[in-house]
Amino acid sequence: MQERIAIWGTILRISLQERLVYRGDFMLGTLMRFLPIVTQIFLWLAVFQATGGTGSTIAGYSFHQFVAYYLLTMISRAFSSMPGLSSGLAEQIRDGDIKKYLVQPVDPLEFLLIGRVAHKIAYYVVALIPFILVFWWCREYFEGWPSAMTMLAFLATLVMSFLLGFFMEACLGLMGFWFGEVSSLVFVYMLVNFFLSGHMFPIDMLEKLGPIFGLGITWADVVRALPFQYLAYFPAAVFLGKLQGWPLAIGLLMQLGWTVAFIALARAMWYYGARQYSAYGG
């Protein structure tokens, strides 16, 4: 175990050094990603003014909470998004590069996971200034800091959203063992993920659509039963205090359950995929 931890530390150090050298664009890129927030502020300001003023609420959210929600989803999405992971993994399988993991004593999923940890550390080290500037500029939209327990729960959701996002995309990439091309699947996944994760709007708004075909359940219930909400909506809702007590505890257990399930699925896909892999390509 001590040797394994030493290997993890070496991989993390090398990956972190590489990313800090060539990803200086993180700072400017992060600032540019916050620009759509300006459009969201004006959009929801117009919506609230047309439906009763900024003092009213929509789906339990005030105007200020809507803006704070979008800012918080930027944080949770920065943890859970894994750009290029699934497509890169599928390409390695298709081109034959994946066979290096079959002959070297390195676990591929651990190697990729540590590389993503280094990626996120480098991202936040470089992008911390834009985050501070934007949140300071928008500080009036937040109703103070949450309690210590809520903050701990929020941090736990971010860690699990990172792991869940990684292993969901890893599973998608590992489908390359059985399909030669997964780009269409990746596109569909990204589209569904963007909508069902709550990145576009709080999932609570789906309650307004009413029951599905008279079944007694709403679209919000369906979306909450899926893992996507834990990638953006759930951390933001926890920070804003939308979930307290048992609903919060159940949500954390559900997020943990989905995370463990996708870890097990990724392990199983690698195990069976590697055994039927023909090791073609360069």
Per-residue pLDDT of the chain (282 residues; tens, 9 = 90+): 666 677 667 777 666 666 655 555 566 666 666 667 777 777 777 878 887 777 778 888 888 888 899 889 988 988 998 888 888 888 888 887 887 777 777 788 888 898 888 888 877 777 777 788 888 888 888 888 888 999 999 999 999 999 999 999 999 999 988 887 788 888 888 888 888 998 888 888 887 777 776 667 888 888 888 999 999 999 999 999 898 889 999 999 999 999 999 999 999 999 888 887 776 554
- For residue 269, the one-letter residue type is M
**Residue 61 carries which DSSP code?**
E
Counting other chains too, the contacts that 252-255 makes at CB distance below 8 Å and 24 or more residues apart are: 252/153, 252/156, 252/157, 252/160, 254/230, 255/157, 255/160, 255/161, 255/164, 255/230
Domain range annotation of the chain: 2-275
pLDDT of residue 248: 93
pLDDT of residue 252: 95
The DSSP H or E segment spanning 220 is: helix 219-224
Rounded Cα distance between 193 and 201, Å, is 12
pLDDT of residue 263: 96
Rounded Cα distance between 48 and 76, Å, is 25
Nearest Cα neighbor of 131 from 202, 72, 43, 80 is: 72
What pTM does this model have?
0.85
pLDDT of residue 3: 67
pLDDT of residue 282: 47
